[in-house]
Amino acid sequence: MRKLILVAEDEQHIRDDISRILQIHDYETITAVNGRDALRLAQQEMPDLIISDVMMPDMDGYALLDELQKEPRTVSI
């Protein structure tokens, strides 16, 4: 069974590079351009892991973590 990883990064080339490297190693990836998008995708897709930038527009990585920890469904991601 493939593992799903959510990559949250506002810089496109970094986001694409991380996603590409993970896919080479047989991980399925989804991407988000900021913390708010990452939170929405995490709630919808329930990834196994989230790799997040800390400094992003709209919602930074720390705020994303705080929001994920508030929800019983996403607290273990």
What's the confidence (pLDDT) of residue 32? 98
**Residue 22: which residues within 8 A CB-CB, separation 6 or more?**
5, 7, 29
The answer, yes or no, to whether residue 11 has pLDDT greater than 80, is yes
Contact 37, 45 (CB under 8 A): no
Question: Which tokens go with 1?
Answer: 């069974």
Query: In whole numbers, what is the pLDDT of the chain averaged over residues?
Result: 97
What's the confidence (pLDDT) of residue 2? 77
Instruction: State how far the alpha carbon of 51 is from the alpha carbons of 20, 47, 54, 68, in Å.
Output: 13, 10, 10, 13
